[in-house]
Structure 1
């Protein structure tokens, strides 16, 4: 008996393949605006000790969303998963760069591009709200989803379920207001 698979099912069945190898990723000083750091760090966290590390935080990540840059420091690549804030990355950090004493949030701002959002453009869609573990997405009626910045932890579960790519994440940089997530 042959079962047909739709396109979404086929794409989800493929293993996640990063779009760049570690050698292709530039150092944090060259592309700091693109780097999403793991939770249990702040915008001021010094990742220089990561060069001496074996990458224990990457190995400990249950969701397999942590990767290493050329300098050894960890960053997040949201694939089809997000961060569950299990603390294992911080607990395994050999040099205490990641610490459970730091906030349980990822230093990003998550936004909805209303020009791409199906709900903002009249189609009933709740794709981003359903996987949100923080209930950080509210709808004005059945349309117009909005992210509640004071509730959103930047977990990333809403990013890849959006059929139109309207949910976007922007790393906060040193000097940005961390409460603006």
Structure 2
């Protein structure tokens, strides 16, 4: 049986992370977990769509998602969770949407999120070399000032979420555009 390790456990296994930094970083993350839940709309969402159609659907976008990042809220609306993976924009979710809530032709090939690096939690901002967020970014949307201080270039970011799932300390925070939290 494969044993999963949490982020704190992962950091403790690394010889170059002092225990005090691990505790400080993970404590900061735990403080922010009480914020209101944000639902992130999947890619290919048609603007001004009626998500009530999703409540009658069998969740075809969820089962079609090869990365297993599309989930359904309690109300039945599709939303994305980047805890273990990111979006490859494979189009399968939109191809399998019978209600055209998701559409390759009418929707945007982008996930509309505001993304930022919480500098207090980021190990690179705390002077420890880490490129965990930059390495999986296919769009070169993360740049470093030297070896430290990563910055997200928002006009290059597609919202794919690979940097979020790759960050060992959860320093990449997500919000949605226009202040909208619900789908």
User: TM-score, normalization: structure 1?
Assistant: 0.75
Distance in 2 (CA, whole Å) between partners of 1:61 and 1:95 is 17
**Which is bigger in relative contact order (C-alpha 8 A, separation at least 6)?**
2
- The answer to whether the Cα contact below 8 Å between 2:118 and 2:172 also exists between their aligned partners in 1 is yes
- The answer to whether the Cα contact below 8 Å between 1:113 and 1:166 also exists between their aligned partners in 2 is yes
SS in 1 for 2:143: strand
Q: In the TM superposition, what are the counterparts of 1:36-55 in structure 2 within 5 Å?
A: 36-41=40-45, 44-55=48-59
Moved more, 160-169 or 133-142: 160-169
- Cα distance, 1:133 vs structure 2: 1.7
- Structure 1 stretches of 4+ with a deviation exceeding 6 A read none
Match of 2:30 in 1: none
- The answer to whether the Cα contact below 8 Å between 1:127 and 1:162 also exists between their aligned partners in 2 is yes
Could you tell me which of 148, 158, 161 is aligned with 1:156? 161
Q: In the TM superposition, what are the counterparts of 1:3-42 in structure 2 within 5 Å?
A: 7-8=9-10, 34-41=38-45
- Cα distance, 1:43 vs structure 2: 5.9
Q: Which has the higher helix share?
A: 2
- The answer to whether the Cα contact below 8 Å between 2:86 and 2:165 also exists between their aligned partners in 1 is no
Structure 2: gaps spanning 5 or more residues: 11-35
- The answer to whether the Cα contact below 8 Å between 1:43 and 1:174 also exists between their aligned partners in 2 is no
SS in 1 for 2:166: coil
Aligned length: 150
Distance in 2 (CA, whole Å) between partners of 1:46 and 1:139 is 40
Gap change, CA 1:51 and 1:175, over 3 Å in 2: closer
Distance in 1 (CA, whole Å) between partners of 2:99 and 2:142 is 35
Distance in 2 (CA, whole Å) between partners of 1:66 and 1:151 is 22
